[in-house]
Chains A and B, each alone.
Chain A
């Protein structure tokens, strides 16, 4: 069957910078930031679990020997010692576990509270919504740290449990507000109305239609709450409000500050706990950004676009035209010379030549 010669429908486009196969596993498709965050967080969770078991010394064990007071890192004490001869590494390991434990618990409790309040407020509407929103906003606007200090200051015991409860008490408003907004917008969508019409009971609608649509929001909220809990608990311990007998990271910093580790140059005392806090926080922020990008298509698209194009395009740049020659002056001679060595330039130049209109084109 003789056919006309195939018309050149396809322009040979230069290869994409990254062309992963279309069937990517869910893990591979996650943005890099999220993966880094998960790995880092996983590392800390591991340390939290096995750390205190492999700690060389008891964190509170004081060694009266003056040679070991604020001693620099050595073979015996990998991270040096404190003023009273305690091993910094052991304190660090125990501190990571305590801090992470506390933060995760606060995250769960406050997270659950914020989901309950947020969904209830949006779903019930009316007076309940007004009251709950008012409560949420009041606790949002009152600065958390001073209030925490006052609350903890009056409690007779300020151990781990008390701290967890108080932190959770002040940790839910942020998430509640966000979840309420999302629930409101979902509630007004058609498929909810359809469920209502078909007679589904309220709690079933909430559990099976609304909440599953908010999973990424709830996850992001959980991560945020954990972040807040870490920061707040460390800050509270640093000020000296919480119980000083347990070895959390904040407590380490408190003692380092009050024993003037800084002035004595004992960096091994305050740098490791601070760094641990910072790294844990960073892993959470990375994770959050990754979840953000998964949920917000514009952020994700923007990232992909930024990566796909060979050149970085500004939003106001006109749509690039492959078959057109570059207007004069766009590339300096030096850049053109250097570019002539690159393979991608060769490929795209070849493509341009293949698809370039003949000289007679362009006139009518």
Chain B
């Protein structure tokens, strides 16, 4: 338990750093940037205008610490301000519309890729020198491809040339989002190619990492002891070798989450998938700072929460972690 509390404390610190960077950045940059932001808003209600001023630190809305405090309160209430590109929509509304799409797609695909990659890695580490080894150069190539490039290729090959998959979007045009079969099936169908892209590019990484850890773990004495005990191969591989190799693998997963999410988001742009990635593209090209900032915060918080979940899994799997902190 103390371990989890320490990790939680760390994530709170990290979140605070992200918030603070977000807050102080526009204030450190020469004033021109702020006025440029302000000029993008066509016509604002006075209240909203003041709110925006407060958020960006224009004018004399109180001491800087006062502004900081109200900024933090706003964030806690999930009030990220008003978007300038989609004016007058609230940023939080836009986020609420797009987050579920990204969460379902990227979340599911990443978990699938992790499981698949880890399993393949166990096999590859065990059967060292087997046919899986021949795949290694190809896998390394896959790992080096930027997510979005593979997306472009797959889209070109499978959607443009041969019309197997849809060209993009989250669902077929003309359908109304809702809990009906036609919508859900269309959404599922449209998510296949993006999910496939995520799985293919990330499986290689997980597999390579697990393979290396397995090879190191197999050299440990307790695996030899398990062999000497005459246990079944399956038990030696999974309960002795893989179970120990899983720990560094999980830690690596936590660290890599940031990269996975970043890559997946950029990939959404290629598919015009209605997730956060597309929103990010729009907000960047139209210089919508409130929206850009908010997206950054949301993504960061999501990654922190995911890291916390991974830490919980590690505590469940590794008994040494529990007692080390209690000692």
Q: Does B153 contact A (CB under 8 A)?
A: yes
- Residues on the A chain within 8 Å of B10, using CB: 134, 137-138, 141
Q: Report the nearest A residue to B299, measured CB to CB.
A: A146
CB distance A150 to B293 under 8 Å?
A: yes
Task: Give 1 or 0 for each of A144-182: 1 = CB within 8 Å of chain B CB.
Answer: 111101110111100000000000000000000000000
- Residues on the A chain within 8 Å of B133, using CB: 306
Q: Report the nearest A residue to B16, measured CB to CB.
A: A138
Q: Which of A144, A151, A267, A302 contacts B262 (CB 8 A)?
A: A144
Say which one of A105-113, A236-244, A356-364 lies at the interface with B: A236-244
Q: Does A14 contact B (CB under 8 A)?
A: no
Q: Does A235 contact B (CB under 8 A)?
A: yes
A361 CA / B284 CA spacing, docked (Å): 83
CB distance A239 to B233 under 8 Å?
A: no
- Residues on the B chain within 8 Å of A50, using CB: none
| CB within 8 Å for A234 and B223 given contacts A141-B11, A149-B296, A306-B128 | no
CB distance A241 to B284 under 8 Å?
A: yes
- Residues on the B chain within 8 Å of A274, using CB: 145-146, 149, 152-153
Q: Which of B160, B265, B293 contacts A145 (CB 8 A)?
A: B265
- Residues on the B chain within 8 Å of A64, using CB: none
CB distance B146 to A262 under 8 Å?
A: no
CB distance B144 to A149 under 8 Å?
A: no
Q: How far is the CB of A297 from chain B (nearest CB, A)?
A: 9
A171 CA / B113 CA spacing, docked (Å): 25
Say which one of A71-79, A309-317, A329-337, A342-350 lies at the interface with B: A309-317
- Residues on the A chain within 8 Å of B11, using CB: 141
Say which one of B17-25, B61-69, B80-88, B170-178 lies at the interface with A: B17-25
Q: Which of A142, A234, A263 contacts B160 (CB 8 A)?
A: A263
Q: Does B55 contact A (CB under 8 A)?
A: no
Q: How far is the CB of B18 from chain A (nearest CB, A)?
A: 6
Q: Does B319 contact A (CB under 8 A)?
A: no
A285 CA / B204 CA spacing, docked (Å): 12
A270 CA / B148 CA spacing, docked (Å): 11
- Residues on the B chain within 8 Å of A142, using CB: 14, 17-18, 258, 300, 303
Q: Does B130 contact A (CB under 8 A)?
A: yes
Q: Does B137 contact A (CB under 8 A)?
A: yes
Interface residues of A in 11-37 (CB under 8 A from B): 33, 36
Q: Report the nearest B residue to A280, measured CB to CB.
A: B144
- Residues on the A chain within 8 Å of B307, using CB: 141
CB distance B266 to A134 under 8 Å?
A: no
CB distance B269 to A238 under 8 Å?
A: yes
Q: Which of B215, B280, B289, B296 contacts A147 (CB 8 A)?
A: B296
- Residues on the B chain within 8 Å of A278, using CB: 141, 144-146, 149
CB distance A150 to B292 under 8 Å?
A: yes
Q: Does B98 contact A (CB under 8 A)?
A: no
Q: Does B140 contact A (CB under 8 A)?
A: yes
Task: Give 1 or 0 for each of B267-308: 1 = CB within 8 Å of chain A CB.
Answer: 001100000000011001101010011011001100110010
Q: How far is the CB of A16 from chain B (nearest CB, A)?
A: 15
A-B contact pairs, 5 of them (CB 8 A): A138-B14, A150-B292, A282-B144, A285-B144, A306-B129
8 additional contacts (CB under 8 A) given A145-B262, A285-B140: A138-B13, A146-B280, A150-B292, A154-B26, A274-B146, A278-B141, A281-B144, A315-B223
Sort A-B residue pairs by CB-CB distance and give the 9 closest, nearest first.
A306-B129, A281-B144, A145-B262, A143-B258, A274-B149, A146-B296, A282-B144, A278-B145, A285-B140
